[in-house]
A and B are shown apart, each in its own frame.
Chain A
């Protein structure tokens, strides 16, 4: 009898006082998620099938927005190319730099915590308009960076004026903010069992060999996480392209995020912009799934 009663009781323990308190704690998050994430998520999907200028009631147009994007809109393909270029420069650049700095900082030096903090500071300013403006000033034709180059006897570079360099410049801004990836790598490096290194040393392994055969395989799970996160962030970039170059010169930095903003708030094509954002979502999803599919072959989980 007692056994039967125990079976009827829900797994979460029922609507107890303790569970009510717990639920009230997560309520705030649930509310935020529903209102600020799920609602926009669903409504943007609905708007993507409409002609909506934000001033009038949306008018259902079926797949017209998507068809137009793929067949008529030259800017969409340019923006897609720019976004992919930006992503494929920033993600490897940021992850590799974060790993190198983490390796350097993964040692017991005097004042190491202070040095780690200093390297993390740029990430605290991530997405900041002030930093983007600072970047613009640094990379102007007669800015600080060109002054340094000239002092070293090198010619000035048109960082923001030359289309091929402008995209590199905003990539550098993103790569510079490698702090959060670095912290994750640092924690992963600390978890690599020392016994593996000791065994390798006894076998006479060189340091590069130990890095490629022990360190790198042991931190692949964190590397995988960093790559996924940075990929998502890079594909959604907006601030640096908007503030530093405003999509120029000659649309060289006109990433999808900027196109989406321009269509929605300058051209009043909210439905069209929503369709663009859903395509962006699908691109992110596909790349993420491809990475997950390949991860079985190169990511090592110790459990």
Chain B
């Protein structure tokens, strides 16, 4: 009995550990939430004349419905094409794409996260260059400057921007009025701290800005530094940090002051809503005056308070800024997998997706303001665009900040920024300690990148 127990326990110890290690192999990942718009047919094999394409994206209900409708339109026009829709949430999406690319199981058409795409591009030749297929994909609808800045890597158009977007400050007009906040006044970093502190002192239940620690990296920490330095967080071409220790300490001290003075809700309270600040009951109860969010998801914030009028205001701009720090962006990209067996068919579908008028009016602003001038004009004429989203993008269009997608937004550097902000938010580190630690980690990261 004793020996048997001993043997069984040791065997189980070995077996269980082996199973944990199994997670470290590059076995293909099952796409559990894949929903085929057409239930028949193998995803990659052609049966007879039928060609099957796999199309993967993430999004909410509106985006899913509109995208499926466009797929159905295309299938009706092209009976030999079947498109399998693989709908996902944004949670874990990037991890899934990376595993699929590594294993050669990636779909033919893939929606990409703007932060992670440069990382994929730097790691391999995964995506089709649309410029190589001028007869199949018409790029004339895009403004040249726009696709040069978003989607073009070393002269190759590897990704198509899905829309024009930006970071937005959404204001709850009723809360602003009740708290005496003037929405016509340009917010500066100083005014945000001053007004927010005053608001919380006078109304302890109220907070100026609805944020979480991840949002703070993109909406406060990096823009603050960009306005201060005029450079990206990391200057990719020179593989160096675009700020000094003192400048980083200043930015972190600002975030600390905002937490200490009640401009932001304490991190302990907002932690539960990280990544989903629109679900914070205080936002729903009108206890925040402002919330940060991408223009492509403004509806999440506004729909959470359907009876309240919301508007957008300009992002914070320092009086003595080197540049505006903020910029117009794209919310996602579309790419075609270079290993696809049906590259040309995938490109033809995307041509329909971007350039056909039926597709344009169906997709409307489900991926923010349409990226092509033809789609924008058409949707505008038909009144299909959300005026709040249009306003947010118009505000950003006048800003002269420069995109910092690249090393700055790689998962590892993003995590360093987030850890830095969290350690400040939870009072675990002083701004000086957090800055020193982050600089050490970023230096180490930069020494390992090719």
Most interface-central of B23, B95, B98, B419 (chain A CB within 10 A): B23
Number of residues on chain A facing chain B (CB within 8 A): 61
- Any chain A CB within 8 A of the CB of B423? yes
- The interface residues of chain B lying within 8 Å CB-to-CB of A248 are 271, 274, 422
- The interface residues of chain A lying within 8 Å CB-to-CB of B267 are 161, 249-250
- The interface residues of chain A lying within 8 Å CB-to-CB of B94 are 266
* Shortest beta-carbon distance from A29 to chain B in Å: 11
- The interface residues of chain B lying within 8 Å CB-to-CB of A301 are 1-2, 5
Asked, given contacts A264-B24, A266-B411, whether A228 binds B423 with beta carbons under 8 Å apart, the answer is no
Stretch at the interface among A17-25, A32-40, A109-117, A172-180: A32-40
A274 to B26, CA, bound (A): 12
* 0 or 1 for each of B1-16: is its CB under 8 Å from A? (1 = yes): 1100110111011011
What is the predominant secondary structure among interface residues of chain B facing chain A? helix
Assess whether B20 is in contact with A277, with CB atoms less than 8 Å apart.
yes
A303's closest neighbor in chain B, by CB? Answer: B1
Assess whether A141 is in contact with B272, with CB atoms less than 8 Å apart.
yes
- Any chain B CB within 8 A of the CB of A267? yes
Assess whether A228 is in contact with B22, with CB atoms less than 8 Å apart.
no
Asked, given contacts A161-B270, A250-B422, A285-B13, whether A40 binds B101 with beta carbons under 8 Å apart, the answer is no
Instruction: List which B243-271 residues lie within 8 A (CB) of chain A.
Output: 267-271
Assess whether A250 is in contact with B20, with CB atoms less than 8 Å apart.
no
A38 to B270, CA, bound (A): 44
Could you list 26 A-B pairs, sorted by A, with CB under 8 Å? A36-B19, A37-B19, A40-B27, A43-B25, A44-B21, A72-B444, A225-B8, A233-B16, A236-B20, A246-B274, A248-B271, A249-B268, A250-B267, A250-B423, A250-B426, A251-B419, A257-B20, A260-B24, A262-B411, A267-B411, A268-B119, A270-B26, A273-B24, A284-B17, A288-B13, A303-B1
A27 to B205, CA, bound (A): 66
- Any chain B CB within 8 A of the CB of A265? yes
Assess whether B102 is in contact with A224, with CB atoms less than 8 Å apart.
no
Assess whether B428 is in contact with A250, with CB atoms less than 8 Å apart.
yes
Instruction: List which B400-450 residues lie within 8 A (CB) of chain A.
Output: 411-412, 415, 419, 422-423, 425-426, 428, 437, 444
* 0 or 1 for each of A157-168: is its CB under 8 Å from B? (1 = yes): 010111100000
Stretch at the interface among A3-11, A50-58, A199-207: A50-58
Among B1, B98, B99, B102, point to the contact of A221 (Cβ < 8 A). B1
- The interface residues of chain B lying within 8 Å CB-to-CB of A47 are 24
Assess whether B95 is in contact with A249, with CB atoms less than 8 Å apart.
no
- The interface residues of chain A lying within 8 Å CB-to-CB of B13 are 228, 232, 284-285, 288
- Any chain B CB within 8 A of the CB of A198? no
Assess whether B21 is in contact with A141, with CB atoms less than 8 Å apart.
no
B16's closest neighbor in chain A, by CB? Answer: A232
- The interface residues of chain A lying within 8 Å CB-to-CB of B99 are 54, 265
Among A163, A228, A265, point to the contact of B426 (Cβ < 8 A). A163
* Shortest beta-carbon distance from A273 to chain B in Å: 6
A261 to B94, CA, bound (A): 13
* Shortest beta-carbon distance from A76 to chain B in Å: 13
* Shortest beta-carbon distance from B28 to chain A in Å: 12
* Shortest beta-carbon distance from B395 to chain A in Å: 32
* 0 or 1 for each of B21-59: is its CB under 8 Å from A? (1 = yes): 111111100000000000000000000000000000000
Assess whether A55 is in contact with B23, with CB atoms less than 8 Å apart.
no
Instruction: List which A207-236 residues lie within 8 A (CB) of chain B.
Output: 221, 224-225, 228-229, 232-233, 236
Among A53, A233, A280, A285, point to the contact of B123 (Cβ < 8 A). A53
* 0 or 1 for each of B357-375: is its CB under 8 Å from A? (1 = yes): 0000000000000000000
- Any chain B CB within 8 A of the CB of A140? yes
Most interface-central of B8, B17, B411 (chain A CB within 10 A): B17
- Any chain A CB within 8 A of the CB of B178? no
A250 to B415, CA, bound (A): 11
How many chain B residues sit at the interface, stated as a range, is 35 or more
What is the predominant secondary structure among interface residues of chain A facing chain B? helix
Among B5, B274, B426, B444, point to the contact of A224 (Cβ < 8 A). B5
- The interface residues of chain A lying within 8 Å CB-to-CB of B19 are 36-37
Assess whether B5 is in contact with A236, with CB atoms less than 8 Å apart.
no
- The interface residues of chain B lying within 8 Å CB-to-CB of A302 are 1
A292 to B123, CA, bound (A): 47
- The interface residues of chain A lying within 8 Å CB-to-CB of B17 are 41, 232, 236, 280-281, 284-285
* Shortest beta-carbon distance from A202 to chain B in Å: 29
Instruction: List which A128-147 residues lie within 8 A (CB) of chain B.
Output: 136, 140-142
Assess whether A54 is in contact with B269, with CB atoms less than 8 Å apart.
no
Assess whether A277 is in contact with B24, with CB atoms less than 8 Å apart.
yes
* Shortest beta-carbon distance from B339 to chain A in Å: 13
- Any chain A CB within 8 A of the CB of B124? yes
- The interface residues of chain B lying within 8 Å CB-to-CB of A257 are 20
Assess whether B428 is in contact with A40, with CB atoms less than 8 Å apart.
no
Assess whether A228 is in contact with B9, with CB atoms less than 8 Å apart.
yes
Extra 15 A-B pairs, beta carbons < 8 Å, given A36-B22, A280-B17:
A221-B2, A225-B9, A228-B12, A229-B9, A249-B271, A249-B422, A249-B426, A250-B423, A251-B422, A265-B95, A273-B24, A274-B24, A285-B13, A288-B13, A303-B1
- The interface residues of chain B lying within 8 Å CB-to-CB of A281 are 17, 20-21
Assess whether A161 is in contact with B269, with CB atoms less than 8 Å apart.
yes
Assess whether B23 is in contact with A260, with CB atoms less than 8 Å apart.
yes
A232 to B119, CA, bound (A): 36
A20 to B411, CA, bound (A): 53
Assess whether B124 is in contact with A56, with CB atoms less than 8 Å apart.
yes
6 closest residue pairs by CB, A with B: A161-B268, A161-B271, A40-B22, A301-B2, A54-B102, A37-B18
Assess whether A288 is in contact with B123, with CB atoms less than 8 Å apart.
no
* Shortest beta-carbon distance from B253 to chain A in Å: 18
- The interface residues of chain A lying within 8 Å CB-to-CB of B274 are 246, 248
* Shortest beta-carbon distance from A58 to chain B in Å: 11
Assess whether A270 is in contact with B24, with CB atoms less than 8 Å apart.
yes
A39 to B25, CA, bound (A): 9
- The interface residues of chain A lying within 8 Å CB-to-CB of B437 are 74
A47 to B12, CA, bound (A): 24
A36 to B10, CA, bound (A): 19
A160 to B212, CA, bound (A): 14
* 0 or 1 for each of A266-294: is its CB under 8 Å from B? (1 = yes): 11101001100110110011001000100
A61 to B22, CA, bound (A): 22
- Any chain A CB within 8 A of the CB of B281? yes
Among A36, A163, A268, A292, point to the contact of B98 (Cβ < 8 A). A268
- The interface residues of chain B lying within 8 Å CB-to-CB of A266 are 94-95, 411-412, 415
- The interface residues of chain A lying within 8 Å CB-to-CB of B281 are 142
